[in-house]
């Protein structure tokens, strides 16, 4: 993926993974590369994938400030211009519901921008990572608000920390499980399902029509068979970041 010609890249730094892609000529992200935070050589691995002299890099981050700064340092060594995405009150037809837009996570903001590239909607967008986030987006671009809850993985980890005999992983979903690992998987995944399904019902009542469901994030795999109506979009935040990168005004990252 690395090269010497000027390139534009997109980076999505979450709480557990860094996802990145080169911006293609059609304005959409190319193939996605994912690097886990747990890898000791995360920054070295990232640097190995990057061009020596890229044109621009756009970073969206919800990670800790120290890690964000470290990734920015790597990008600033390789790209002429580095921009850090921020949530805006409105962009590309999207109107954020928050009275203080800066309080809306940039990942949720970009996921909604990305959703609009798949059609006008309405959309119910569920992101499953460290947290479970849900946002309702009307067909006219109005964000109608959302929810934040622990993801199934975080629920399992929290239960394990509180009661070590409860495994932090494993088990399979069953409506009425016959052992503890399956019961844990069924309870935690079922809690996420219930929240998504209630959100779909409430959204349909509010809009007068059922929204389409988009799922994204590293924790969606166990939920996909249980939500057959959902559309999976693995690079939704990167798709939104591509839209943000094309906006007239971008904030250059500090120190570059």
Among 107, 140, 201, 254, the active-site one is: 107
Query: Contact at 8 Å (CB) between 106 and 86?
Result: yes
3-class DSSP assignment, residue 220:
coil
φ/ψ of 216, rounded to 5, equals -150, 165
Using CB atoms within 10 A of its CB, is residue 108 exposed (0-12), middle (13-18) or buried (19+)? buried
CA–CA gap between residue 187 and residue 105 (Å, rounded):
27
N- to C-terminal Cα separation, the chain: 24
Query: Contact at 8 Å (CB) between 237 and 150?
Result: no
* Torsion sign across C-alpha atoms 200, 203, 209, 215: negative
In the numeric block, the tokens 């340092």 are attached to 73
CA–CA gap between residue 73 and residue 82 (Å, rounded):
10
Active site residue 174: no
What's the CA angle centered on 69, arms 152 and 56, to 5 degrees? 100
Catalytic residues: 107
């Amino acid at each position: 993926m690395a090269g010497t010609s000027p390139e534009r890249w997109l980076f999505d730094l979450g709480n557990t993974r860094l996802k990145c892609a080169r911006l293609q000529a059609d304005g959409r992200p190319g193939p996605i590369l994912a690097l886990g935070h747990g890898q000791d050589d995360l920054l070295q691995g990232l640097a190995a994938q990057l061009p020596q002299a890229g044109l621009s890099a756009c970073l969206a981050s919800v990670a800790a400030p120290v890690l964000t700064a470290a990734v920015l340092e790597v990008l600033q060594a390789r790209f002429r211009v580095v921009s850090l995405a921020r949530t805006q009150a409105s962009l590309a037809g999207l109107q954020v519901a928050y009275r203080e837009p800066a309080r809306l996570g940039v990942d949720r903001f970009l996921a909604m921008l990305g959703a609009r590239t798949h059609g006008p909607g309405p959309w119910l967008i569920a992101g499953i990572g460290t947290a479970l986030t849900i946002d309702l987006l009307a067909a006219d671009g109005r964000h109608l608000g959302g929810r934040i809850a622990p993801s199934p993985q975080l629920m399992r980890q929290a239960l394990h920390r509180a009661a070590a005999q409860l495994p932090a992983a494993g088990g399979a979903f069953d409506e009425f499980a016959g052992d503890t690992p399956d019961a844990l998987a069924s309870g935690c995944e079922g809690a996420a399902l219930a929240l998504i399904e209630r959100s779909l019902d409430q959204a349909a009542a509010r809009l007068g029509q059922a929204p389409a469901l988009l799922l994204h994030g590293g924790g969606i795999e166990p939920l996909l068979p249980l939500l057959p109506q959902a559309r999976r979009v693995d690079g939704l935040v990167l798709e939104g970041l591509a839209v943000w990168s094309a906006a007239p005004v971008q904030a250059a990252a500090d120190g570059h």
